Amino acid sequence: MFRMWMKIFTDNRLVKDTVICIEDEQMSRTAKVFQAVSDACSQFDLAQPIWLDANIREFQKHNKTRFVQDNFVEEIDFDYLEVHIIEE
């Protein structure tokens, strides 16, 4: 099972979080990550963030990354969205 923890922070405080579980073993790891981010954004009523090169490198190295205002086309009302793989 694949689980990803998505957290929204404002003023260094956790204001919303969710854990997305994906049990489809046929999907690639990349597809699971994009599906989890899509599902969480739907739950949080957010637009999809844009994966910049820095996000990709950080995610590959640490299995987590942060999306800030630069990653979103629309204005966001929080400081950052953090995604973190907690189980593969």
Render pLDDT for 6-49 as a digit per residue (tens, 0 to 9).
Answer: 999 999 999 999 999 999 889 999 999 999 999 999 999 999 99
The phi and psi torsions of 13 (rounded to 5 degrees) equal -125, 135
- C-alpha–C-alpha distance, residues 30 and 35, integer Å: 9
Mean pLDDT (whole number) for 61-87:
93
Q: Please report, to the nearest 10 degrees, the dihedral formed by the alpha carbons of residues 82, 42, 36, 50 taken in order.
A: -60
* Burial category of 69 from C-beta neighbours within 10 Å (exposed 0-12, middle 13-18, buried 19 and up): exposed
Report pTM: 0.88
